[in-house]
C-alpha cells in the first residue's frame, strides 16, 4: 500500500525576539503571569513592512526542498495553511509556486486556523494515496503579528510569527501518514475569530475604529473547549489504531498553551520527555507550530517511530494524525538516501 511520508522538514523564524519583559513595558502584565498561564517566554516577530506570510513560507519550503536535494520543478502540489495570507487573493500558494520555479505545480491555501497543518497533512495524504501526485509541499505559515492588537494583553502575549514546511512523497514500506481524525464545530466560531475585512464586514473606517481587523478571542471559552477536545481526539486516534502510550515515541501537539499540552499528555499516559514542546521560545505560531516542532526534533526521530500530531483552533477545528516516521535523523537528498538503503 502506498502511504504519504514526510521526507523533509524546513522552517523559517524571524530574527527579532519579543520577550515577556518587552510586554511588561507595553501592557499591564508580568513575566510570571505569562509563563505560569501559557508557558511562553518569547516569540519571534517579522517586523519588516514589506515581508509577510509568503516570504516566510518560501524560506521554509526552499529549506525543505534543498535538504531533500530537490527543486521547484520536482513539486506537484503546494498547500499553504494560513490565516494571515498576504492578501485575500491570489492564494499565497501562487507566489510560493513562482518563487520556487515549481513550473508543473498547482496549489491552494487552506484556512483551518491552528489546525491548518493537520488538515493539510490529511489532504496531502489523499492526493498522494490517489496515485495522481507524487511530491506535495505542505507549508504552515502565519504572520500573527499582522492581526494582533498590541494593546490587548489577553491576546498579544500569545502569538508569534513563523513558518514550517514538510515535503511528502509516496512510500511503500508502510511508513507515512497512517490515519487522521479531523473535526469541525462551527457553533464555536465566535470564541476565536477576526471579524473584519471579509465580505460580512468589509473594511471601513468604522471596522478599523472598532478593532475588527485583529484577533478576537474569548480565551477562557477556547481553553475549556480545547482542554477536553484536544486530549479526546489524540486519545481517539491512538485507540483507533491500537496504540498504547508505550507505542508512541513522540506526541507533537499544537503549541497554544503549556497547560493544554500537559493535560493531553497526561490523558495519553506520556511522560514529558516524549512530548515535543517549544512554546516557550516561539509562542503560538498558528499553522506553523507542528512543523516547527518536527524541525526542532527531526534529529531525534527514527525510522518506524510512531508519532501522534494533534491540533485545535478557531472554527472550532481540531484533529489528530498518526504518523509512522519514514527516516532516521536529518532529511537526506533522495539520491543519498537510496544509496544508503542499498548498502543496508
Ligand atoms: O491556538 C489558538 C487557540 N487558542 C488557545 O488555545 C487559547 C486558549 N486559552 C488560553 O490559553 C488561556 O485562556 C489564556 C492564556 C488566554 C488566559 O489564561 P486563563 O488562565 O484562562 O486566564 P483568564 O482568561 O481566566 O484570566 C485570568 C485573569 C483575568 O483577570 P481577572 O478577571 O481574574 O481579574 C484576566 O484579565 O488574568 C487576567 N489577564 C492577564 N493578566 C496579566 C489576562 N491576560 C493577562 C495578561 N497579564 N497578559
Cβ(95)–Cβ(125) under 8 Å?
A: no
Q: Is pLDDT above 80 for 341?
A: no
Q: Which residues are catalytic?
A: 114, 254, 284
Q: Kindly report the pTM of this predicted structure.
A: 0.97
Q: Provide the terminal-to-terminal Cα distance of the chain, rounded to the nearest Å.
A: 22
* Continuous segment of H or E residues that includes residue 318: strand 317-324
Question: What single DSSP character describes residue 95?
Answer: H
Cα–Cα distance measured from residue 264 to residue 251, given in angstroms and rounded to the nearest whole number? 9
pLDDT tens profile 242-286: 999 999 999 999 999 999 999 999 988 999 999 999 999 999 999
Q: Whose CA is nearest to atom 30 of ligand 1?
A: 154
Cα separation, 296 vs 298, in Å, equals 6
Residue reference for cell 505545480: 105
Mean pLDDT of 50-63: 98
Q: Is 207 exposed, middle or buried (0-12, 13-18, 19+ CB in 10 A)?
A: middle
Look at residue 167 and give its three-state secondary structure.
Answer: strand
With the most atoms of ligand 1 within 8 angstroms of its CB, the residue from 28, 114, 185, 219 to mutate is: 219
> Candidates 84, 220, 227: which one to mutate for ligand 1, based on the most atoms within 8 Å of Cβ?
220
Cα(177)–Cα(71) distance, rounded to whole angstroms?
Answer: 23
Q: Tell me if 142 sits within 8 A of 54, measured CB to CB.
A: no
**Ligand 1 pocket by Cβ (under 6 Å):** 29, 33-34, 37-38, 114, 153-154, 157, 192, 219-220, 222-223, 226, 256-257, 284, 313
Is the pLDDT confidence value at 296 over 80?
Answer: yes
CA 120 to CA 108: how far, in whole Å? 11
Cα-flanking dihedrals φ and ψ of residue 161, to 5°?
A: -105, 140
pLDDT per residue as tens digits for the range 166-211: 999 999 999 999 999 999 999 999 999 999 999 999 999 999 999 9
Position 49 scores a pLDDT of 87
- What's domain 1-344's superfamily in CATH? Thiolase/Chalcone synthase (3.40.47.10)
Model pLDDT, residue 188:
96
Residue 290 near residue 266 (C-beta atoms within 8 A): no
pLDDT of residue 338: 78
- How sure is the predictor about 344, in pLDDT bands with cuts at 50, 70 and 90? low
Q: Ligand 1 centroid vs 220 CA: distance in angstroms?
A: 6
CA dihedral 333, 334, 336, 340 (to 10 degrees): 130
Cα(221) to centroid of ligand 1, in Å?
10
Amino acid at each position: 500500500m502506498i502511504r504519504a511520508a514526510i521526507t523533509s522538514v524546513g522552517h523559517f523564524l524571524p530574527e527579532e525576539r519579543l520577550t515577556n519583559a518587552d510586554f511588561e513595558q507595553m501592557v499591564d502584565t508580568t513575566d510570571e503571569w505569562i509563563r505560569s498561564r501559557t508557558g511562553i517566554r518569547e516569540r519571534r516577530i517579522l517586523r519588516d513592512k514589506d515581508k509577510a506570510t509568503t516570504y516566510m513560507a518560501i524560506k521554509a519550503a526552499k529549506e525543505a526542498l534543498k535538504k531533500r536535494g530537490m527543486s521547484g520543478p520536482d513539486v506537484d502540489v503546494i498547500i499553504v495553511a494560513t490565516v494571515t495570507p498576504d492578501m485575500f487573493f491570489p492564494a499565497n500558494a501562487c507566489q510560493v509556486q513562482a518563487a520556487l520555479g515549481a513550473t508543473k505545480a498547482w496549489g491552494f491555501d487552506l484556512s483551518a486556523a491552528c489546525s491548518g497543518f493537520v488538515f493539510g497533512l490529511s489532504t496531502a495524504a489523499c492526493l498522494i494515496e490517489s496515485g495522481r501526485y507524487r511530491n506535495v509541499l505542505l507549508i504552515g505559515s502565519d504572520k500573527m503579528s499582522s492581526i494582533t492588537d498590541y494593546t490587548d494583553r489577553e491576546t498579544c502575549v500569545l502569538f508569534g510569527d513563523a513558518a514550517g514546511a514538510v515535503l511528502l512523497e509516496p512510500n511503500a514500506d508502510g511508513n507515512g501518514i497512517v490515519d487522521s481524525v479531523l473535526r469541525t464545530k462551527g457553533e464555536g466560531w465566535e470564541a476565536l475569530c477576526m471579524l473584519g475585512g471579509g465580505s460580512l464586514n468589509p473594511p471601513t473606517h468604522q471596522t478599523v475604529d472598532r478593532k475588527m481587523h485583529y484577533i478576537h478571542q474569548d480565551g477562557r471559552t477556547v481553553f475549556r473547549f480545547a482542554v477536553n477536545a484536544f486530549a479526546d481526539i489524540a486519545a481517539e486516534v491512538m485507540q483507533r489504531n491500537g496504540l498504547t502510550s508505550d507505542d508512541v515515541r513522540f506526541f507533537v501537539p499544537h503549541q497554544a498553551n503549556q497547560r493544554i499540552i500537559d493535560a493531553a499528555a497526561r490523558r495519553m499516559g506520556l511522560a514529558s520527555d516524549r512530548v515535543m514542546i517549544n512554546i516557550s521560545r516561539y509562542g503560538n505560531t498558528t499553522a506553523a507550530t507542528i512543523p516547527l516542532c518536527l524541525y526542532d526534533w527531526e534529529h531525534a526521530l527514527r525510522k518506524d517511530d510512531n508519532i501522534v500530531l494533534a491540533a485545535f483552533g478557531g472554527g472550532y477545528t481540531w484533529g489528530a494524525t498518526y504518523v509512522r516516521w519514514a527516516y532516521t535523523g536529518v532529511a537526506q537528498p533522495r539520491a543519498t538516501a537510496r544509496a544508503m538503503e542499498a548498502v543496508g
